[in-house]
Amino acid sequence: MTENRNEKEKWNRAPAVVVGVDGSAGAKEALRWALREGRLRNSPVRVVHAWTFGYTYWGGELEPYTSLGFDLSDLQRAAEDLLERALVDVEDETEGVEIERQVAQGPAAEVLVELVAPSDLLVVGSRGHGGFAGLLLGSVSQQCVHHAPCPVVVVHAAKPTAGVQDSAAARTRSRAVA
């Protein structure tokens, strides 16, 4: 019954720009893009970080895992801290935008797809912290594109530019020409 009520609430709320963050450069660019879009749409921006324990468990609620010598609530707090650091990194771009924060336990793509409604806009980076850096599209962004019930924007991180020395030399040359 609670699940049905949550589902109805999700589909009846005001449209939001939902963005996934994981601490990667791609996620930072996605967050920046989402903030600009939220400002343009006058929509809240829901910043989401999904975390997993990294160990297959039997389902249900995760309780303190004392047999391993730590409390899983530490992982939840670390995930909340990561989300807050992501927002601090772009705090100069948050003015005038309503920010909602959400940390959820589970695989990133699954969490993001479950959180969005058809009237939302989902924003993800093209590459996160996955192991296959040469791919153009990461597994999370690919799964979101294929399974989300709403439009999905995949933001590519800016490509690295020339080295610092090359940039300084270029600025010196441009001043000399001007």
Q: How far apart are the first and last CA of the chain?
A: 70
**Whole-number percent of the chain with pLDDT over 70:** 66
| CATH for 89 | 3.40.50.12370
Which pTM does this prediction carry? Answer: 0.75
Domain count, the chain: 1
pLDDT (tens digit per residue) in 59-73 = 555 554 555 566 778
Query: What are the residue ranges of helices labelled H in 13-163?
Result: 25-41, 72-89, 108-115, 139-147
In this structure, is the dihedral angle defined by the CA atoms of residues 56, 59, 65 and 67, taken in order, positive or negative?
Answer: negative
pLDDT band at 74 (very low <50, low <70, confident <90, very high): confident
Domain that includes residue 10, residue range: 2-177
**Whole-number percent of the chain with pLDDT over 90:** 56
